[in-house]
A and B are shown apart, each in its own frame.
Chain A
C-alpha cells in the first residue's frame, strides 16, 4: 500500500507512471496533490485539466475530476468548466510547449481575462514526449534534436510573460525545493484570479542527454545549486545572477476583478437572473 497522500489523491492502479527515471514531473505532480490536500479541498470540487505532452499525463494519474484535452487547449477547456461551474477549483497542468508554444495564445488571453484558474506549468525546457525538440523555454545556446548546433531563439520567462499579459498571481518553484513549490501552488489555488506557477522540472532523457548535463542526480544537484530565492536574489549583483533560476512569488494583485464575477454582473444587467 502506498503512502496516505498517494492513496488519497492518485489513481494507484495506474501507477507506476510512464515518466522516465529521474523525471521531475513525478515530484511536481505530488506537489500539486500535496497542495490540494493541505487546503482540504473535497475531491469532487477539484478539476484537473491538462493538454498534451509529458506533463499532461498527470491528469490520468490524479484522482479528481480530470480532463486530458488537445494540444495547447487545456486553458480553453478549463475556461469553459470554470464559466459553467464557478465554484469548482480548476487546476491546469501543462508543459512548456503546451502552455507557451501551441497554447501561448490561450495563456495570454486567459491572463488578460483574469479568470480564476490555477495554471501549473511543468517546465522541462524541451519537448520530451516527441523526442527532444527545442521548446520556447529552451535556453539560448542549448541543444535539442531540432537544434543540433544550439538554439538561437530567446527563451520565455513564464511568470514575466504571464504577468505582462495580466495574470494576477505568478511564481516559480522547482522540483528540488518541494515545500516552496507546494506553498506556491496552495497560494495560487487560494488566489481569486488567474494564477500561473512555473515548476522547473528535469528531463534527464532528452534535455540532459542532448546537453551533456550528466545523470538525473547531477541535474538535480545543478538545480539545487543554481536556484535562488527571490528575496536573496534582490540583494545580489546582476552579474552574480546570470544563468541562475529565481524562485518564489513574483507578482500578486488582488485589485483586479475576476472574470466569472464580471460575467455574473453582465447576466444581471441583461436581466438573465430573473
Chain B
C-alpha cells in the first residue's frame, strides 16, 4: 500500500460482478458471498484499475489529506 493512500470498499453497493478481482494486477481482491473482499491489502499498489471498472462504485482509492 502506497503511503497516504487507502483502498476502501462499500460492500452494500457491491453486486459481485468480479471485474475488480479479474483486472487487479496484484491479486489483492476476492469475491466472497457475492461481495468484494480485500484479501491482501499490503500488496495493493493503488493503481486504481478496480475503481475505474467498478460498475457499482463499491471500491476506490482514497488519498489521505494532511
Residues of A within 8 A of B (CB): 2-4, 6, 10, 15-17, 19-27, 30, 175-176, 178-179, 204, 215-217, 220-221
Task: Indicate if the CB atoms of B18 and A217 lie closer than 8 Å.
Answer: yes
Task: Indicate if the CB atoms of A17 and B56 lie closer than 8 Å.
Answer: yes
Which single residue of chain A is at the shortest CB-CB distance from B21?
A217
Task: Indicate if the CB atoms of A3 and B22 lie closer than 8 Å.
Answer: no
Task: Indicate if the CB atoms of B53 and A21 lie closer than 8 Å.
Answer: no
Distance (whole angstroms) from the CB of A56 to the closest CB of chain B:
16
**Residues of chain B within 8 A of A178, CB atoms compared:** 52-53
Q: Is B15 an interface residue (CB 8 A)?
A: yes
**Residues of chain A within 8 A of B56, CB atoms compared:** 15-17, 26
**Residues of chain A within 8 A of B62, CB atoms compared:** 3-4
* Number of residue pairs spanning A and B whose beta carbons lie under 8 angstroms apart: 65
21 contacts between A and B (CB under 8 A): A2-B10, A2-B13, A3-B51, A3-B57, A3-B60, A3-B61, A3-B62, A4-B62, A6-B57, A15-B13, A16-B56, A22-B15, A22-B18, A22-B19, A22-B55, A24-B55, A26-B54, A27-B54, A175-B53, A204-B17, A220-B19
| B interface, over-half SS | loop
Within 8 Å by CB of B17, from A22, A25, A221, lies A22
- Assuming the contacts A2-B10, A16-B13, A21-B15, asked whether A217 and B57 have C-beta atoms less than 8 A apart, the reply is no
How far, in angstroms, from A175 to B17 measured CA to CA in the complex?
14
Task: Indicate if the CB atoms of A25 and B55 lie closer than 8 Å.
Answer: yes
Within 8 Å by CB of A27, from B8, B12, B53, lies B53
Task: Indicate if the CB atoms of A217 and B17 lie closer than 8 Å.
Answer: yes
- Assuming the contacts A3-B60, A19-B55, A30-B57, asked whether A217 and B15 have C-beta atoms less than 8 A apart, the reply is no
**Residues of chain A within 8 A of B55, CB atoms compared:** 19, 22-27, 175
